[in-house]
């Protein structure tokens, strides 16, 4: 019985420590500048294309010198008329400034991603926003 309680306490401490480390190392959303990109694939159901895109995109974002935070998403089932779920992937990246976003456009990691994946998409739309 005592051994079981000690084991539970140790598991609890390990989980709490793991959560604290994760929380401390997480990047904070920067509201100064948001770069939102929607991708429409030529073959949106092709699993190999999706894997290639996700791998390349994650590598690019990991290596970006400018991107502060990012979110990669896919459309959920639309239940309202105002929701456009026609895209294949969305990407939201935040920057500390519009100038940082300009640097991101020309950085090697971004250019490699575009070269690796440009044959996958049919259409790309970008919405940039300054925070208020």
> Angle formed by the axes of helices 108-117 and 98-106, to 10°?
60
Check residue 102 and give its pLDDT.
93
CA–CA separation, 67 and 75 (whole Å): 23
In a domain, 14, yes or no: no
In a domain, 8, yes or no: no
Full-prediction pTM beyond 0.95? no
In a domain, 12, yes or no: no
Section 112-125 average pLDDT:
98
In a domain, 24, yes or no: no
In a domain, 59, yes or no: yes
Count of structural domains, the chain:
1
What percent of the chain has a predicted confidence (pLDDT) above 90? 68
| CB atoms closer than 10 angstroms to residue 26 | 9
CATH assignment of the domain containing 91: 3.30.70.100
Domain that holds residue 75: 33-130
In a domain, 6, yes or no: no
Stronger pLDDT, 16 or 97, i.e. the higher one: 97
Half-sphere exposure of 101 (CA within 13 A, CB side): 22
Q: In this structure, what are the phi and psi dihedrals at residue 116, rounded to the nearest 5 degrees?
A: -70, -30
pLDDT tens for residues 82-118?
999 999 999 999 999 999 999 999 999 999 999 999 9
DSSP 44: T
In a domain, 20, yes or no: no
In a domain, 17, yes or no: no
């Amino acid at each position: 019985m005592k051994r079981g309680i000690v084991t539970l306490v140790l598991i609890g401490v390990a989980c709490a420590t793991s959560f604290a480390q994760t929380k401390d190392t997480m990047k904070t959303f920067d509201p100064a500048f948001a770069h939102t990109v929607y991708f429409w694939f030529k073959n949106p159901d092709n699993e190999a294309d999706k894997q290639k895109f996700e791998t390349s995109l994650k590598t690019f974002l990991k290596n970006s010198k400018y991107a502060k935070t990012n979110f990669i998403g896919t459309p959920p089932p639309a239940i309202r008329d105002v929701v456009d779920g026609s895209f294949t992937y969305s990407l939201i990246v935040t920057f500390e400034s519009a100038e940082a976003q300009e640097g991101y456009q020309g950085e090697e990691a971004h250019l490699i991603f575009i070269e690796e994946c440009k044959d996958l998409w049919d259409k790309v739309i970008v919405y940039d926003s300054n925070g208020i």
